[in-house]
Structure 1
Amino acid sequence: MELLHTRSLVPSKWSAVSCDQWADDLHSICGSFNPRLIERGRPVRGAARGIDVCGMQFAHVSNDLDCVHRNWDDIRRDTVEHLFLIVQLEGSCGVDHVGQQATLDVGDCILVDSTKPTTFHFGGNFSNHLSMHLPRQTMYSGKRDKFDIARKLEGFDTMAIMLRALIAKIMSTPDSDGNSASLQELMFNATRQAFVSDTDVLLNPMYESAARRMQMVDMLIDQHLTDANLSAKWLATRIGVSIRTLQQDFHGVGITCTTIIRDRRLRLAKEKIEQIKDVKGGRTIAEVAYSAGFNDISYFNRSFKELFDCAPTDCLRQGGGKPE
């Protein structure tokens, strides 16, 4: 089955909805984004709808807006982090992300990080794309690979063809299928392979800006999130600056290094709980906490509840898994 010819994704006719309704629908699926119309008050042709299938979450997004923007305030409001694997189904879309610009045509794929500002440009022209929500911390966890975020795969690229074929397979596989978990892992690995970076970023801390150093720190945290020795001191040593300089860099963005590491480990733990909660005899909360980089279960439980407003056992019991 060719994803680009799936009639449920590429219907012959699109209806119109109010811009407010479209924005609310997008927010409920993807988090905080800000749409902008070319002509104020007119309806939006298209829709924003969620698709949950085979244990995976998708956003099917179509519109004829001017643009949709996500800024730092939007990012701070969202507690869930994803990598969005986007496939263009109809029309075209401009993407401005992490300082790179790309234009997506039909069949093209791109990987976007929800923790970074993004602008999607449409210019009033109709665009239709499918976005697969990949759990960000799971994608980075235990891997030393670097991803080329914002790198476009042309529609004819072998990797783009493979990703579209896997998505089509996932969308036709029911949740009850015994191979659904294996298919999810195959999708994760295929995406890693498709966007793996083959270049090393060289950093000279004496001449680089705080923003550039923070970019490197952000990448190192993702790559070494579950390592026992991950700390501000370890990061400062890796990028060749003093601990004081690194602390000043973090102060400039209004957060501490310890908080970033803790919150990303908590999000990784939550992703792991979501993956095991329907598995009978699966891993315990303590095992999940240890695998995410925590060694104090009381601290983990307290921090988890502060960030997500629920206990980890509450998340697990929703699916009937083992709480202890």
Structure 2
Amino acid sequence: MQLQEFRTWMPEIWGRTCFDEWAGRLQSVCGSFNPQPVRETDIVRGGTSVISAAGMEVVQVAADVHAVSREQRDIRLDGREHMFLLLQLEGTCGIEQFGRQTAITPGECILVDSARPVKFHFDGLFSNHLSVHLPRQLLLCEHIHEIEISHRLAADDPMSIMLRALVTKMLHTSATDHRAPHLRQLLLQAIRNAFAPASFEQSAIPNERCEERLELAQVLIDRHLTESALSPHWIASKLGISLRTLQVDFASLGVTVTSFIRDRRLRLARDRLVEMRCGSETATIAEIALASGFNDISYFNRCFKKAFDCSPTDLARN
């Protein structure tokens, strides 16, 4: 399938660079990812570049490496949490996440969660895709139902066509354009609908493995992040485990349950403050704090400054 709207990002001849240089560039723009070269060579055909799409970051990743992975230790290392909307332009990209293995070909789309372990498979074959970096908590918190991660949208799916058209429009829209905030919000809403599951199902009874309990706990936190009832006791009761077991599970991540929830809420507030700065959010800082799950504004201000080394006011204005 020809992707005429993205022909600018599909040159006929790609440059070549050493593997270490390509890997360093990927990590600088996407976070702590671990590329694996093809054994026979340390030369990569392709490149990695950052593009602004109506003020939203889009990264082009083109290469003929063997694989790229992100493990739990990498997530703890850099703390970057985005949803990646992948739009495949050339070749095939295999994605392994949540125990699901999927491959996307030109024109197809998929949603990947950078806050969970993931592996991309290329097997040394050339692949080129655009990765739209989405504010994770902002995308999740304003949707009452689950968003289906690692679900492939076929190239001829109307939702896939719509997402490609929206990204194309954004790629030709400056961050300072008065339409930019509306396009960003439109893209988030379109993604929520495009990746909504066909039917809503309650979470299964958790497995006894720590990793699977943590996965379900994080799903509950993401889904109920702004609700006042969210607490370690509430999560433990939903999972059918003791509070002690829940605390031990989160200790394996090097955090407490309470600090994990607080961090998620701070990231949500930060994303909303950025939207305020860009003109698509009209609430006050106090209203954003309350809407993000903080009832004490002074506590919110202290935690925010400690986490991001600036005050909420500084971020909103500067």
Q: How does 1:106-125 map to 2 (within 5 A)?
A: 106-125=106-125
Pair 1:253–1:278, CA change in 2 (3 A): closer
Q: How does 1:140-179 map to 2 (within 5 A)?
A: 140-179=140-179
Higher alpha-carbon deviation: 270-279 or 169-178: 169-178
In 2, Cα distance between equivalents of 1:176 and 1:37: 39
In 2, Cα distance between equivalents of 1:313 and 1:3: 43
Q: How does 1:21-36 map to 2 (within 5 A)?
A: 21-36=21-36
Give 1:100 deviation, angstroms.
Answer: 1.0
> What is the match of residue 98 of structure 1?
98
In 2, Cα distance between equivalents of 1:29 and 1:253: 24
In 2, Cα distance between equivalents of 1:58 and 1:132: 4
In 1, Cα distance between equivalents of 2:64 and 2:169: 29
Residue type matched to 2:117 in 1? P
TM-score by length of 2: 0.92
In 2, Cα distance between equivalents of 1:85 and 1:73: 23
In 2, Cα distance between equivalents of 1:29 and 1:260: 24
Residue type matched to 1:200 in 2? E
> What is the match of residue 74 of structure 2?
74
Secondary structure in structure 2 of the residue aligned to 1:87? strand
Q: How does 1:197-212 map to 2 (within 5 A)?
A: 197=197, 198-205=199-206, 208-212=208-212
Give 1:173 deviation, angstroms.
Answer: 2.2
Higher alpha-carbon deviation: 21-30 or 33-42: 33-42
> What is the match of residue 136 of structure 1?
136
In 2, Cα distance between equivalents of 1:91 and 1:169: 23
Secondary structure in structure 1 of the residue aligned to 2:12? coil
> How well do the aligned residues superpose, as a CA RMSD in angstroms?
2.0
Residue type matched to 1:204 in 2? I
Pair 1:280–1:234, CA change in 2 (3 A): closer
Give 1:201 deviation, angstroms.
Answer: 4.1
Pair 1:202–1:56, CA change in 2 (3 A): closer
2:44 is aligned with 1:38: no
Give 1:111 deviation, angstroms.
Answer: 0.5
Q: How does 1:1-324 map to 2 (within 5 A)?
A: 3-39=3-39, 42-197=42-197, 198-205=199-206, 208-279=208-279, 282-318=282-318
Pair 1:153–1:279, CA change in 2 (3 A): closer
Secondary structure in structure 2 of the residue aligned to 1:152? coil
Pair 1:291–1:9, CA change in 2 (3 A): same
Could you report, residue by residue, the CA deviation over 1:206-252 in whole angstroms, capped at 9, with x for unpaired residues? x6433332222111111111111210111122233332332233234
Secondary structure in structure 1 of the residue aligned to 2:244? helix
Identity %: 44
Runs of 4+ in 1 over 4 A off after TM superposition: 2-5
Residue type matched to 2:220 in 1? L
Counting matched residue pairs gives 316
Residue 142 of structure 1 contacts residue 226 of structure 1 at CA under 8 Å; is this kept in 2?
no
Give 1:75 deviation, angstroms.
Answer: 0.7
In 2, Cα distance between equivalents of 1:239 and 1:123: 38
Residue type matched to 2:140 in 1? Y
Give 1:180 deviation, angstroms.
Answer: 1.9
Give 1:68 deviation, angstroms.
Answer: 1.0
